[in-house]
Amino acid sequence: FFAMTILTAEEVFAILQDDPAAGSGGRVKEALGALVGLVKEERASRDARELDASAFVSVSRRCRTVDVRSPGEFRKGHIPGAVNVPLFDDDERAVVGTKYKRSGREAAMCEGMKFVAEKGLSDFAERVLRGDNDVCIYCWRGGLRSGAVAWLCRRLRPDARTSCLVGGYRSFRRWARAVWSSPSGPPTTDDGRKKEPPAGGGKKKK
């Protein structure tokens, strides 16, 4: 894992924004180490909520919901109403995954941050927020992608309020299957009609 560092949020942002080509160089590694700690602090912030699947779905009905997984992951299934603003495209995700398997988490994070920084950190955060101050964000399961994006949005717009899904889309899929297979039956709309299962979430693969 990364060594502890005392870089401020502003210093981390500046390094990751201005030096995307530095790869796993010393300054980028130091900044990524600080980012891990800053994401943890972000999760403890009163303006950065972490919600279980049921609460997340309830909140997501009232605000912009962003899936930061790759386009391929999004196509396989996503939370209804979510828009896809991928942190990595499908090819980049494959590269990061290979780096993780061969060289470990630190190398994979460095590789991934290069891809993100090359897109422009501020531009990416603006695509996530799109003028909204209240946004729900989720990834697959670990929370590192969604947590990092929430941190980035708060750096760009301090008054932004972010909600992250604990356990990611995987936890939503488990929750949705449990709801739709419960003895009381699937939830209904206000006029009594049965709701349709969420995309990729309410049906088991055959």
Catalytic residues: 139
Cα–Cα distance measured from residue 53 to residue 198, given in angstroms and rounded to the nearest whole number: 13
C-alpha distances (whole Å) from 21 to each of 13, 17, 57 are 15, 10, 38
Cα–Cα distance measured from residue 115 to residue 141, given in angstroms and rounded to the nearest whole number: 21
Cα–Cα distance measured from residue 78 to residue 149, given in angstroms and rounded to the nearest whole number: 18
Asked if 162 and 131 touch (Cβ cutoff 8 Å), the reply is no
Cα–Cα distance measured from residue 155 to residue 153, given in angstroms and rounded to the nearest whole number: 5
